[in-house]
Structure 1
């Protein structure tokens, strides 16, 4: 009971008031805010945790400002048009033309970059058409990237396979043997291999 009285008294008193205690004639412990009653002794109180409504030394709260940087641009579609996926190409010099497209079109400051087997084929540029030469025979992968002004990748396609068949000289001769008019004109038909032309018989006229 005394504990509840103490708690009630402490709540009721203002934060700056002092509390005193003494034992009365009946042996009861008495708490009061009057220091002159009996042999009252001051009760040490822990500092309160009340805060002023308008603190003068409050630490300012810093609110992070939202970044003004625009979100990265997103292309709805980016793909290789030519050659088609898994296409087989025939070229003795390993040549092919690669055409790409994007939706929407290339944005300002962006560049296309073509990758052959994961390696750039040339410097990034604005043209969606790339000419490749001397591609090794066999299977390869094409992919295309769109880079921003800082050289960061904005979009990239998945690898698209194709197969290059480079026709050898022997295969060319099998497909189209050298004719007499081809010797000296086609690399696989040197003049030294040109057969002698048949001599026309001399016709005597009477």
Structure 2
């Protein structure tokens, strides 16, 4: 029966697995994972299991699935972070309002990590690796300082509590009282301006 043979042939053809199109994948210049059916340099061929699904799917040559997400490192833990100078609640005397702050950490500052100094709750400069900070022209009175450590991802790793110190700025008049100006020091010492130099007494003998 010809009709029965034709039907059997159709059934056999339908049972045969479809020919799979080769699929390749690679990372493009922008860091995106790309899938394509076109072979190219540095592309890796993927093993795709054939399917008997006869539904037609539009053929896409290049498909991007977005850049790979970087794996974040676990946060590093410092056992100790403290301010060495000035000591807590200490008094600093400076006519120019200069204060040197030094810090220490245990373990030592790791690669990619940065210190940040805060004065009265405000950051001083940009984060850096130096454990020494120079403050200049501070107002007299009590100030609060603290130090933070950040990693290369900008995450806060460690922070000291606020630590107070007291700044005393000696006035020029107080300096002159403590150390009177000598004649040769006028115009040399800041507290001994030339305008305050007393006139020299001249001794003279009347002409006879």
The structural deviation recorded for 1:188 is 2.4
Structure with more of its chain in strand, by fraction: 2
Give 3-state SS (helix, strand or coil) of 2:154's partner.
coil
**Equivalent in the alignment of 1:162:** 165
SS at match of 1:121: strand
State the Cα distance separating 1:82 from its structure 2 match.
0.6
Distance 1:157 1:198 in 2: 61
1:173 aligns to what? 176
Q: Which moved more, 1:95-104 or 1:176-185?
A: 176-185
What displacement does 1:200 show? 5.7
Q: Secondary structure at the match of 2:126?
A: coil
Q: Give the corresponding residue for 1:46.
A: none
CA distance in 1, matches of 2:89, 2:204: 57
Query: Which ranges in structure 1 are unaligned for 5 or more consecutive residues?
Result: 1-67
Aligned position for 2:43: none
Give the structure 1 partner of residue 135 of structure 2: 132
Instruction: Measure the CA separation in 2 of the matches of 1:90 and 1:150.
Output: 39
Cα shift at 1:175: 1.2
Q: SS of the residue aligned with 1:174? A: helix
Tell me, what secondary structure is at the counterpart of 2:115?
A: strand
TM normalised by structure 2 equals 0.61
Alpha-carbon distance in 1 for matches of 2:110, 2:196: 57
Mapped partners of 1:129, 1:192: distance in 2: 39
Aligned runs of 1:64-83 on 2, under 5 Å? Answer: 69-83=72-86
Give me the whole-angstrom Cα distance separating, in 2, the residues matched to 1:157 and 1:194: 49
Find the counterpart in structure 1 of residue 13 from structure 2.
none
Matches within 5 A, 1:41-190: 69-190=72-193
**For 2:128, what is the secondary structure of its paired residue?**
coil
CA distance in 2, matches of 1:150, 1:132: 27
Q: What do residues 170-194 of structure 1 show as CA deviations (whole Å, max 9, x unaligned)?
A: 2112211211111111222222321
The structural deviation recorded for 1:201 is 6.9
* Aligned-residue RMSD, C-alpha: 1.6
- Tell me the TM-score normalized by structure 1: 0.61
Larger Rg over CA atoms = 1
Q: How many residue pairs end up in the alignment?
A: 135
